[in-house]
Amino acid sequence: MWRRLALACALITVATAVPSGVADAASKSGSIVFRCGANLCRVAPDGSARKRLTKNGRAGGPAYGWVSASRSGSRLGVSFGNKAYVLDGSGKRLRGPFRQGGAALVTQISPDGGKVATIELVPEVVSPVPTLSPYLYLQTAAGGGRDTVARASPLTGWLGRRLMRADRAPGSPFEQGICLLTSNAGFECERSVAAEAGRDLWGPATSPNRKLIAATRAPVDKVTGGIALYDAKTGRRRRTLTNASRDSQPSWSPDGKRIAFTRGRSIFVVAARGGRPRRVVAGAQPVWVKRAARRSGS
């Protein structure tokens, strides 16, 4: 468990960004918010209209280590300097820092923008030495009503208004799957939404129709691999989209036809039905939203 946690922490890194071209003022396909170096940027799915949303991130810290978005893109959930915040779609701070029990590695805002789930590293005294454990918390986007949801869950995501968490297999090699919680205020799983023998799954992203889960399909004890689709009702793999070793962090387009993901230090897009991935821009952790990218000179 602790090795996987360390790997997960290593995955939340800052990618190097490079300038890209400027194109049309809007896109019917929405736009992609992503981490560009220590900051956040927005880009059209074709790589045009790139714009930097934040300017307070620094290469030496503090930096933006996580980004999530409401379905519309009007609200962003971010981890900045290991603290959780909510920004508007243009990168302006609205709420935060939230009350925390530890360093906020993940800040996952709900699709409707009303709730924020965080994964925080909480110090624990486990004989003979202190250690850190990832706890899953839930609060309103205004910072109220904080609940402790689960211990030892290094990932989370939303299936509609319901939270998902990590769910390990009972036997060796203890593969990490993903389950839907029975209640957002409790640890128990209702059912599996993604699981596969011999694979650890990361970064669950739910399709707009809530029928499929896109996830990173990694070798056991790794956090990158290929991107695959899983049936949200049965948890079984439906389709493998990429077979690379460096892919992670998938995100669905608003129409459910494409998926953006991180490959190394760049963002790629692939059709949900399969095909050859296309590079969009340098960066990491794409979050595809309905709001269109607009022309900018930045």
Asked if residues 159 and 178 have their Cβ atoms less than 8 Å apart, the reply is no
pLDDT score at 20: 33
Q: Report how many domains make up the chain.
A: 1
CB within 8 Å of 4: residues ≥ 6 apart = 154, 176, 200, 221, 223
Average pLDDT score over the chain: 90
- Confidence check: pLDDT of 25 > 70: no
pLDDT of residue 134: 95
Q: What CATH code is carried by the domain that includes residue 12?
A: 2.120.10.30
Reported residue count of the chain is 298
Using alpha carbons only, what angle is made at residue 201 by residues 45 and 134, rounded to the nearest 5 degrees? 100
- Beta bridge partners of residue 268, listed in sequence order: 261, 279
* DSSP secondary structure, 158-179, as one string: EETTEEEEEEE-SSTT--EEEE
| Predicted pLDDT of residue 253 | 97
Q: Give the pLDDT score at 295.
A: 57
State which residues form the domain around 78: 2-289
**Predicted local distance difference test score (pLDDT) of residue 292:** 81
22 or 268, greater pLDDT:
268
Q: What dihedral do alpha carbons 241, 261, 271, 291 form, nearest 10°?
A: 160
The pLDDT tens digits of the residues spanning 183-219 come to 998 899 999 999 999 999 999 999 999 999 999 999 9
Note whether residue 215 is domain-resident.
Answer: yes
The whole-angstrom separation of Cα 193 and Cα 172 is: 20
Percentage of residues of the chain with pLDDT beyond 70: 88
Q: Tell me whether residue 297 is in a domain.
A: no
The answer to whether position 119 is within a domain reads yes
Q: What is the DSSP letter of 97?
A: P
Chain segment 147-186, per-residue pLDDT in tens = 999 999 999 999 999 999 999 999 999 999 999 999 998 8
* In-domain check, residue 174: yes
Q: How far apart are the first and last CA of the chain?
A: 42
